[in-house]
Amino acid sequence: MHHAITHAFTTGATETVLIGTDIPDLPATLITQAFTKLHDHDIVLGPSYDGGYYLLACTPHTLLPQMFTNIPWSTTNVLPTTLNILTTHHRTVYLLPPWHDIDTPDDLNRLLHHHEPAFKSSHTITYLTRHPLMETHLK
């Protein structure tokens, strides 16, 4: 993540929003809100329900490399550890509304049965509902 953000800044970006690839139903309004909140905050995070985060927004001046080291990735402590690092380094943080990411078959079921109406006709939903391998995992 740090490499991707740094690359964006070295190629001319003045703000960046990095999102996970495991959140196909993320509303574009949350990405827009992240860019907007960067005007008043150093960092914007989108907490995921599993204890991590689905989105990180920053500027070249607010990027903190320490927020990517010694993080207990894939645990419920990712967000609290990250927030502690940011607080220690006096970064102001805005938290977006929480959102679900997709890590397990149960997460896929939630996506299929509780997604936003506009997402219902997406290629992702079409693929998941028609793919034969998914029958063994989906309820």
Residue 48: name the closest of 97, 111, 82, 109 by CA. Answer: 97
pLDDT > 90 fraction of the chain, expressed in percent and rounded: 67
Q: Domain 2-95: which CATH class? A: alpha beta
In tens, the pLDDT along 55-74 reads: 999 999 999 999 999 999 99
CA distance 104 to 132: 17
pTM of the model: 0.87
Please state the domain extents for the chain: 2-95, 105-136
Q: Average per-residue pLDDT in the chain? A: 89
The SS3 call for residue 14 is coil
More confident of the two residues 5 and 107: 5
